[in-house]
Amino acid sequence: MRDRAKNLLDILQTIFVTLLTLAILVAVHEFGHFWVARRCGVKVLRFSVGFGKPLLSWSDRSGTEYVVAGIPLGGYVKMLDEREGPVPDDLLDQAFNRASPRSRIAIAAAGPLANFLLAIFVYWLVFLNGVSGVAPVVAKVEPNSLAEQAGIVAGQEFLSVDGEATPTWEALQLQLLDRIGEDGEVRISMRSLDSDLVTENVVALKEWMHDVEEPNPVRELGVTLFVPEVVPRIETVVAGSPAERAGMQAGDLVVEANGEPVRTWQEWVEQVRELPEQSLPIVIERDKQRIILTVTPERKLDDSNHAYGYVGVSVQMPTWPESMQRTMTYGFVGAAIAAVDKTWTMSAFTLSSIKKMLIGLLSPKNLSGPITIAKVASSSAQYGFFAWLTFLALLSISLAVLNLLPVPVLDGGHIVYALVEWLTGKPVAEQVQVWANQLGLVLVVFVMVFAIYNDVLRL
């Protein structure tokens, strides 16, 4: 019963966080179109967040209807347009189709621009709060790997990749991800922790990770980064759990289970999970004394309906060595500069990834849809408010970049139509626009279906 309640709460949290994330992104994007359209003299008939039947609606003095609809997977701004119905003579000058090409370009570009501004604002908040991370230090290098061939050895710290500083795990991953699918050389600066000597290492790439579904560039280099060993010392014991009934207490160190020595938390977890509803003799160390206990893991079911054991304890997490902790703090202006730079970097990375996917350098199986977005949104919220904000910024950038692609039915397609008219003095033929829009719609739907297919496969 308790498991069902927890699963229900998890599902409700996922739905709530996902809807909140999408609602913010859509509202900001459509507000960009709305705000600029009004300033260009175009009459806005409806501002809708979501599709389908309105759940909530109201109108302002200008006659614009504001709607919150039942299908929260997008939104739209409906403007007065002769192509969509008769327009009274006294309102012809407020019709979108009669606006100048420059005005139509501004209106179409305003949605993506609003998403870029949202990302900059969110990153500014994140940087003002301070950004923490840990240094990417090599714990192990696989034999015959790219890293070994480049001369990288255990105990070294990654300083930069292709001239870009990599002070944290995240920075290192991002710089390496930028080289997916490429040939050529990656120049990596390394430094041993026990010296100031910096070495320049060159890694030779050949269509690197172009067919990998979920690329992990550090692992593909053949490197395992240092992580403090998690010893099986108990931090908390859940009330009424098998662990409490067996006599386990906070601070206990598990040294043996089922007659086998236990050195790490992972080994202890694996022992427990493999023995649901079976007696598990253990030896724990408490106040420098060893005590023999017997715990019977409770039977639970995972998402795939497989049984596993559960005893109800959490681990004392180790602390990273202070020398490996990296904390970057920013002032008011410094945070703004860093936010703009981060938004630019992530936009370029998103565009580069799309290009590589189109020309076959990056596996299309990396394309994600709403299911993956929901899972990541929920998990980022569990890590805290600023983790969720970072995900919101990334999603906002992706939405902006995708909408600027020159695909009919997207904002980028409308910009292309207006640019052609501005340069030639003639609008694109209506029949050509109809055909192009139909083709663009088919392309967008195909990509969405493929992304959802990838999501299902990941499940």
Q: Is the model more confident about 188 or about 301?
A: 188
Q: Measure the CA–CA gap between 394 and 356, rounded to whole angstroms.
A: 19
Contact (Cβ atoms closer than 8 angstroms) between residue 78 and residue 46: yes
Find the mean pLDDT for residues 419-425.
91
- The reply to whether 212 falls in a domain is no
Among 153-167, 266-280, 385-399, 444-458, the range scoring the smallest mean pLDDT is: 444-458
Q: Measure the CA–CA gap between 133 and 225, rounded to whole angstroms.
A: 13
30 among known catalytic residues: yes
Phi/psi for 79 (5° steps) reads -110, 155
Per-residue pLDDT tens digits for 243-292: 999 999 999 999 999 888 989 888 889 989 998 999 999 999 999 899 99
- The reply to whether 251 falls in a domain is yes
Contact (Cβ atoms closer than 8 angstroms) between residue 291 and residue 255: no
| Annotated active-site residue in 30, 157, 182, 298 | 30
Number of domains in the chain: 1
- The reply to whether 352 falls in a domain is no
Residue 1 has pLDDT above 60, yes or no: no
Strands (E), 258-391: 260-261, 280-286, 289-295, 298-301, 307-310, 313-315, 325-328
Per-residue pLDDT tens digits for 305-318: 788 989 999 888 88
- What CATH number does the domain containing 253 carry? 2.30.42.10
**Residue at token pair 């859940």:** 238
- The reply to whether 297 falls in a domain is yes
- The reply to whether 145 falls in a domain is no
- The reply to whether 7 falls in a domain is no
Among 41-45, 193-197, 208-212, 443-447, the range scoring the smallest mean pLDDT is: 208-212
Q: What pLDDT is recorded for position 41?
A: 93
Query: How is residue 202 written in tokens?
Result: 């060159």
- The reply to whether 375 falls in a domain is no
Q: What domain range is 242 assigned to?
A: 234-315
- The reply to whether 395 falls in a domain is no
Find the mean pLDDT for residues 300-305.
74
Q: Which of 292, 317, 310 has the alpha carbon at shortest distance from 240?
A: 310
Q: How confident is the model at residue 456 (pLDDT cuts 50, 70, 90)?
A: low
Q: What pLDDT is recorded for position 40?
A: 94
Find the mean pLDDT for residues 37-52.
91
Residue 338 has pLDDT above 90, yes or no: yes
